[in-house]
Amino acid sequence: MFTLIFLFWLLNIPLLLADFISPRCFWKMKQNENRDRNQGTGCTFMIHAVQRPVEKEYFSHILNIQTHTENHKYALALAFSIYEINMNPDILPNMSLIFEFSVHNCVWESKLMSFMHVSLQNYDIFPNYLCKEYTKCAMALTSLNWATTVKFNTILNNFISQQFFQITYGPFHPVLSDHEKFPYLHQMASDHTSLAFGLVSFIIHFGWNWVGLVISDNDQGIQFLSYLKTEMEKNTICFAFVNMIPMSMNLYMSKAEVYYNQIMTSSTNVVIIYGDTDSTLAVSFRMWESLGIQRLWITTSQWNVSPGMKDFTFGNEYGTFAFGQHHSEISGFKHFVQTLNSVKCPDEYLVKLEWMHFNCEVSASKCKTLKNCSSNHSLEWLMVHTFDMAFIEGSYDIYNAVYAFAHALHQITFQKFDNLPKDNGKEHNYSCKKLYSFLRKTQFINPVGDRVNMNQRDKLQEEYDIFYIWNFPHGLGFKVKIGIFSPYFPNGQQVHLSEDMIEWAKGSAQMPTSVCSADCGPGSRKFRMDGMAACCFHCKPCPENEISNETNVDYCVQCLEDQYANTEQNHCIRKIVVFLSYEEPLGVALSLISLFFSAFTIVVLGVIVKHHSTPVVKANNRTLTYILLISLIFCFLCPLLFIGHPNAATCILQQITFGIVFTVSVSTVLAKTITVVLAFKIIASQRMMKYFLVSGAINYIIPVCILIQVIVCAVWLGASPPSVDIDGQSEHGQIIIVCHKGSVNAFYCVLGYLATLAIGSFTLAFFSRNLPGAFNEAKSITFSMLVFCSVWVTFIPVYHSTKGKVMVAVEIFSTLASSAGMLGCIFVPKCYTILFRPDQNSLEMIRVKSSSNARSS
């Protein structure tokens, strides 16, 4: 079953969309004459059921009024509704509905009450008794203001409660919805909860959030304000002002200038008007229109918003939108009115009296001609074209009220088939209470296909047609249907407007803006001050590394750690990963230097090994020389661990390799220095020192020094080993990946230990630089250790003043420079002698140098 319903609904979507995309044009032509205003805006009718046929001439007789006023259309709508029911054999067979209509039916409160008072005095109305041919319950159909309605209902209840119940077709009023106080009073109009929802949806459609509201200062206006405020708060729409117009004319006149200034000084371009059309609010609105206040007005369809005799202009940015209760078209109404014998009115009267419509889709040329016609020929043009007539809200409520009365009466009369009424009908005096209970539960489909539910609790939410109003020549109000509002459509799609119809009606698709504050574009956020409305705010740029890619956001979004905000702060860009790589010039240069010195050290080692038997090599402990050269090769290769994408393994190997390899080098230099000192300083009596030198025990210095460094590195790894450090904050737009030292104290312990060995070697070598000997290395060792210490002392401040890959490059440069210092100072002179001065690399030259050194010493 659900599947069939869904398929049926799905198949109807194209029809619904077609109806919204190509809406018809609806016009209401009403002469704006002041003499009609004193006739009121509604009439009171008494509807009865009789058991005799009623001909059409009856309605002609009832409606035979010389002066056709504004309210005459309600009588015509009532007559048509009753005539249609009387002609229907399926409703109330052998029974007819009738009503009475006179000038007294459509008068103001004072005249009506005065008329009823006179009727009571003249015994036209007898308490609890009605001397007429009909004794069944009758329906009083009224459209009075709420105070008059209460008085009228009191009279009905106190005097003729067994004969009448009351239905109102005027605007809904919350006071009258109390069924305990008014048990036999029913309101046909909606309570406008859907209207508030529709207005807010309409406002959202055009992107407005700053609107004014003008309402009557009564229960009706306050209740609507409550509905509207609730819907507006849900959608962050604010009131620029709320004008509550008092019902008292004297009180209103004392504050009229205040209300006028409030609208004129407000920054809003959209104002909602809601209230009774016969109140001081109507007076206020006509005054504002006459003063030419340029605002876009939104109101209900009952309002006469035609501003006098002014000619209309197209392309105006402002105008008036009206919401009217949506209902299907009622055919045959125009024909009924034209065929009434007593209504000998020309088409001009029909044009001014009711609604009419053309199909602009079919007759676009008619609409264009109407738009372009001059002031002198517009009305004549309308009268010679064919038009239909449709019900406005009050007329449609009368139509449904009469049908509800007929259905309830039919149900109570024919609830048993064997209980048919007699010809005179006097055996069936039904109780109004029982009939009214039937009426309140009545549900039916009216002849135009709309569902009518008289149960107020189960009433469906109302749908509304949306109209745009022109200021037409001759003071005629011209309304064009531009769309529809339905609360049953998906959320955010309740309002369907035809943009083409708006442009056709206005002459322009341009709509005025109405916001309290300009939009905060991407890259900024809203900032509210205390006391400001929710729609009013300042715009502030997003904080650093935060973005907003939408308008009017409350908070900016923090970019992820691997992203950064662009200059406009509306988009996060992935950060560039920065590390010292082999692809960039600095990495290539350092790699080539490292490889060059490593290769050069290998060449030096080759030269030394090839000439290992020469005096210059033999004079300074060949084993230590080989160890030193091999360790220097690894010292030059060590920087290659610092280049490339860091990971946990390379970070550990960098520091551990650096510490061990340089310990080997410096401890070897220390061993060579001690060898020189012992060789030239010991005397014959120092046999232990001589044994220490000859036995090779000095070679244990290197393992001992290495062991100490290994212990330090082990503690380092155990406490806080080096690790990969991802720094996304130091440099804008970059993620710097380097190896963090882990324990900085452990790193400086490694450097400190190397410095201790280097200083020890430097000190011994410095004091041994002038000792005799042909190939004394003391001077070379002194300079090498001086270079070594200078490089690493300089390294510390420079290292701490740099970041990222530059910091890594500084460490690599220091490694290469200190290694090159040892290689150059110690071995370059030897290689020079071996390769280019072989004459000095002989025993004779050693004896000569030794003797000369001895004489000089």
Cα(541)–Cα(552) distance, integer angstroms: 12
Q: How many CA atoms lie within 13 A of 334 on its CB side?
A: 18
Please tell me the predicted confidence (pLDDT) of residue 314: 40
Q: Which CATH architecture has domain 193-301+303-323+466-506?
A: 3-Layer(aba) Sandwich (3.40)
Contact in structure between 188 and 167 (CB atoms under 8 Å): yes
Q: Are strands 576-578 and 734-740 parallel, antiparallel or unpaired?
A: parallel
Residue 838, CA distances (Å) to 204, 282, 834, 841 in order: 99, 123, 5, 5
Quick: pLDDT tens for 315-335: 456 778 888 888 877 778 877
Give the range among 74-83, 110-119, 775-784 with minimum mean pLDDT: 110-119
Nearest to 164 by CA among 131, 189, 128, 132: 128
Please tell me the predicted confidence (pLDDT) of residue 253: 87
Nearest to 635 by CA among 844, 424, 817: 817
Contact in structure between 496 and 483 (CB atoms under 8 Å): yes
Quick: pLDDT tens for 387-422: 555 677 778 889 999 999 999 988 888 774 444 444
Residue 427, CA distances (Å) to 86, 424, 430 in order: 22, 8, 9
Cα(825)–Cα(413) distance, integer angstroms: 129
- What phi-psi label fits residue 492: left (phi over 0), alpha (psi between -120 and 50 degrees) or beta? left
The more confident residue out of 352 and 658 is 658
**Residue 638 per-residue DSSP state:** G
State the chain's mean pLDDT as an integer. 76
Contact in structure between 481 and 26 (CB atoms under 8 Å): yes
Q: What is the mean pLDDT of residues 442-451?
A: 87
Is the predicted pLDDT of residue 37 greater than 50, yes or no? no
Q: What is the mean pLDDT of residues 831-849?
A: 70
Please tell me the predicted confidence (pLDDT) of residue 832: 85
Please tell me the predicted confidence (pLDDT) of residue 119: 52
Quick: pLDDT tens for 326-385: 887 777 887 787 777 555 555 555 555 544 544 454 444 455 555 555 444 555 555 544
Residue 311 in 3-state DSSP? coil
Please tell me the predicted confidence (pLDDT) of residue 696: 60
Give the range among 510-514, 667-671, 714-718 with minimum mean pLDDT: 510-514
Residue 428, CA distances (Å) to 50, 413, 414 in order: 12, 8, 11
Q: Write out the DSSP string of 70-123.
A: TTHHHHHHHHHHHHHHHT-TTSSTT-EEEE---GGGG--HHHHHHHHHHHHHTT
Q: What is the CA radius of gyration of the chain?
A: 52
Is the predicted pLDDT of residue 570 greater than 80, yes or no? yes
Quick: pLDDT tens for 97-122: 988 776 666 765 555 555 555 555 54
Please tell me the predicted confidence (pLDDT) of residue 305: 52
Give the range among 270-274, 288-292, 591-595 with minimum mean pLDDT: 288-292
Instruction: Give the other-Cβ count within 10 Å of 519's Cβ.
Output: 14
Query: Which helix or strand (DSSP H or E) is residue 564 part of?
Result: strand 563-565
* Residue 496: partners with Cβ closer than 8 Å, 6 or more residues away: 20, 483, 484, 485, 486, 489
How would residue 600 be classed by pLDDT, with cut points 50, 70 and 90? very high
How would residue 455 be classed by pLDDT, with cut points 50, 70 and 90? confident
Please tell me the predicted confidence (pLDDT) of residue 854: 46
How would residue 682 be classed by pLDDT, with cut points 50, 70 and 90? low
Cα(509)–Cα(502) distance, integer angstroms: 6
Cβ contacts of 517-520, under 8 Å, gap ≥ 24: 519/551, 519/552, 520/548, 520/551, 520/552, 520/553
Please tell me the predicted confidence (pLDDT) of residue 619: 72
Residue 545, CA distances (Å) to 259, 534, 553, 561 in order: 48, 27, 16, 10
The more confident residue out of 219 and 775 is 219
Give the residue carrying structure tokens 């409606």.
63
Please tell me the predicted confidence (pLDDT) of residue 370: 54
Q: Write out the DSSP string of 386-408.
A: --EEE--HHHHHHHHHHHHHHHH
Please tell me the predicted confidence (pLDDT) of residue 114: 56
Instruction: Please give the biggest Cα pair distance in the chain.
Output: 167
How would residue 638 be classed by pLDDT, with cut points 50, 70 and 90? very high
Q: Where are the alpha helices (DSSP H) in 415-551?
A: 432-440, 499-506
Please tell me the predicted confidence (pLDDT) of residue 512: 84
Cα(552)–Cα(542) distance, integer angstroms: 12
| Residue 505 token pair | 């009606």
Please tell me the predicted confidence (pLDDT) of residue 382: 54
Please tell me the predicted confidence (pLDDT) of residue 310: 44
Give the range among 87-91, 234-238, 418-422 with minimum mean pLDDT: 418-422
* Residue 115: partners with Cβ closer than 8 Å, 6 or more residues away: 104, 107
Please tell me the predicted confidence (pLDDT) of residue 164: 77
Contact in structure between 299 and 322 (CB atoms under 8 Å): yes
**Residue 240 per-residue DSSP state:** E
Q: What is the mean pLDDT of residues 88-100?
A: 86
- What phi-psi label fits residue 772: left (phi over 0), alpha (psi between -120 and 50 degrees) or beta? beta
How would residue 816 be classed by pLDDT, with cut points 50, 70 and 90? very high
**Residue 247 per-residue DSSP state:** S
Cα(764)–Cα(706) distance, integer angstroms: 20
- Determine whether 771 is exposed, middle or buried from the number of CB atoms within 10 Å of its CB (0-12, 13-18, 19+): middle
The more confident residue out of 58 and 516 is 516
**What is the homologous superfamily of the domain 587-856 according to CATH?**
Rhodopsin 7-helix transmembrane proteins (1.20.1070.10)
Instruction: Give the other-Cβ count within 10 Å of 132's Cβ.
Output: 9
The more confident residue out of 387 and 556 is 556
Is the predicted pLDDT of residue 851 greater than 90, yes or no? no
- Using the Cα atoms of residue 13, residue 15, residue 16 and residue 21 in order, give the sign of their dihedral: positive
* Residue 688: partners with Cβ closer than 8 Å, 6 or more residues away: none
Please tell me the predicted confidence (pLDDT) of residue 820: 92
How would residue 676 be classed by pLDDT, with cut points 50, 70 and 90? confident
The more confident residue out of 280 and 23 is 280
Expressed in angstroms, the distance from the first to the final Cα of the chain is 122
Please tell me the predicted confidence (pLDDT) of residue 592: 94
Please tell me the predicted confidence (pLDDT) of residue 693: 56
Please tell me the predicted confidence (pLDDT) of residue 130: 44
Q: What is the mean pLDDT of residues 754-764?
A: 88
Please tell me the predicted confidence (pLDDT) of residue 285: 82
Q: Write out the DSSP string of 480-518.
A: EEEEEE-TTSPTT--EEE-HHHHHHHHSS-------SS-
Locate CATH 1.20.1070.10 in the chain: 587-856
Residue 493, CA distances (Å) to 8, 481, 502, 808 in order: 20, 18, 18, 61
Please tell me the predicted confidence (pLDDT) of residue 829: 85
Percent of the chain beyond pLDDT 90? 16
* Sequence letter at residue 609: V
Out of 234-248, 386-400, 760-774, give the one with best mean pLDDT.
234-248
The more confident residue out of 392 and 533 is 533
**Residue 461 per-residue DSSP state:** P
* Sequence letter at residue 178: D
Cα(548)–Cα(555) distance, integer angstroms: 8
